[in-house]
Amino acid sequence: MRKILMTTYFIIFLSTPVQAETDSSRYVMKLEDIIYTFLSPLESKAIKEYFGDTYLSDFCKFVEVKTKPDSAYRYEITYQFITYERAIMPPYHLFTLKVGNNSPTDWVIKDVKVRKLAEYEDYTKMCRKPMIVR
């Protein structure tokens, strides 16, 4: 009986943190998707200024998020995304976009870096798919 109780306790103890971490990471991914969606007009603007045309894109990751200590709700966000032509066809470009806000609703592009990906670079390892909420 004691072995069964210890085994049950051990299984519950080990499985609980894994579940909590999974839920936490899913929550973080949802928040990233929300922020990325919110910033998508700036992304479209940067793409149009660089190419002169609209390209498709996929979110990769947030590189850095800084807060401005002297002001509330003021941020500087650096994130990356991939652009491509038509139905996920090359050429692929990695954009690194730095944006900031002067007021809670006034977001501006501060810096844009673009790098054409080499043929051997697998962009699918750089980027992740958006969260699907069911």
CA-to-CA dists, residue 84 to 5, 92, 131, angstroms? 56, 5, 21
Domain ranges of the chain: 2-126
Q: From the CA atom positions of the chain, what is the Rg in Å?
A: 20
pTM as predicted? 0.74
- Per-residue pLDDT tens listing for the chain (134 residues): 444 434 333 344 444 444 445 678 888 888 888 888 889 999 999 999 999 988 888 888 999 999 988 888 899 999 999 998 777 677 789 999 999 998 888 899 999 999 998 888 887 777 877 776 65
